Structures are given as C-alpha cells and as structure tokens.
Amino acid sequence: MAGFTREIRIHHSPESVFAFACDIENAPNWITDIVRVEKLTDGPVRAGTQFRETRRIGNREHSAVIEVTAHEAPRLHTASSSAFGIHCTYHYTFEPEESGTRVRLEAKATSKWYPSFVIGRMLRMMENMDGDQLEKLKAAMDGEAKLL
C-alpha cells in the first residue's frame, strides 16, 4: 500500500481542530483547489456520510464522491473515494498535546488492477495537491481565531 504522511501541531484544542476540519463547509478554506462540496446524505457527519467534492485541476473541474468511513470525535476521521480502479483514503488523527493538538494525516492509494508505478503516479498527484493540507488547516484555524 503506497502513501504519504504529514504531521503538524496546531495551537487549538482537539475538539476545536476536529470540529473545524470535519465541517465540510470549511473544506474550501484549507484544501487546495476545492470549488465546492455538497453533502449527499442527511444528518450529522458520521461513518457512512457521503459528499461530492469538486476541485479545479488545471482548466477543468473534477468531482469525486467521498465517503466518511470512520468519525470518532475528537480523535479520528477517515474518508475514502474510489475512481477508475484506484481507492484513496485520508486518515486524520487528532491527539492532545501540551499546547494544542497534534494532527496526523496518512494518505494511501491502493488498486487491485493497476501496477505499482501507476499507483505511484496517483500518489504523487495526491501529494502535490494535498501535501500542504495540514499547514493550510493550521493557517485557516489561526485566521479564524483572529476573527473571533
């Protein structure tokens, strides 16, 4: 299974970081190139919640249906999508630290059909788009805190 991992410390409580990061309305504030996010299921975010994420990649918009596969406030959130035979998973953990929260992102890509070099290309694309996601989450939270 191919993947990449990122970690960052954010100077806010795990509860506030989790709530901000898992509110799909906030996604365009910290996830690169998101144009819109549409929730497809009713009720609060939980395992089984689905949403459509649309990103601008180059001159085109691309959408993917993403499903929350784990959601345990305020410590973990996992979301996955599958397209063209490749399954991608983003797993976030939120751990309390002395002065805030340690956020860890583990991104993985798998396929039953494609060879590892194809998965490697997909992973590089994911990392190019989302490798700075946690830094942007921190900046968005710090910016929001200044507005409060």
Cis status of the peptide bond prior to 96, with omega within 30 of 0: no
Domains and CATH numbers, the chain: 2-147 (3.30.530.20)
Look up the pTM and report it.
0.89
Count of CB atoms within 10 A of residue 10's CB? 25
What local confidence, expressed as pLDDT, does residue 148 receive?
A: 35
pLDDT for 1 beyond 70: no
pLDDT for 84 beyond 80: no
H-state helical runs in the chain: 14-22, 27-30, 116-130, 133-147
Give the model's confidence band at 126: pLDDT under 50 very low, under 70 low, under 90 confident, else very high: confident
Give the model's confidence band at 121: pLDDT under 50 very low, under 70 low, under 90 confident, else very high: confident
How large is the angle between the packed helices 14-22 and 133-147, nearest 10 degrees? 110
What local confidence, expressed as pLDDT, does residue 144 receive?
A: 61
- Region 20-44: what's the mean pLDDT? 93
Distance CA 55, CA 64 (A): 9
What local confidence, expressed as pLDDT, does residue 125 receive?
A: 80
Residue 118 region, left (φ>0) first, then alpha (ψ -120 to 50), else beta? alpha
- HSE-CB at 63 with a 13 A cutoff on CA atoms is 9
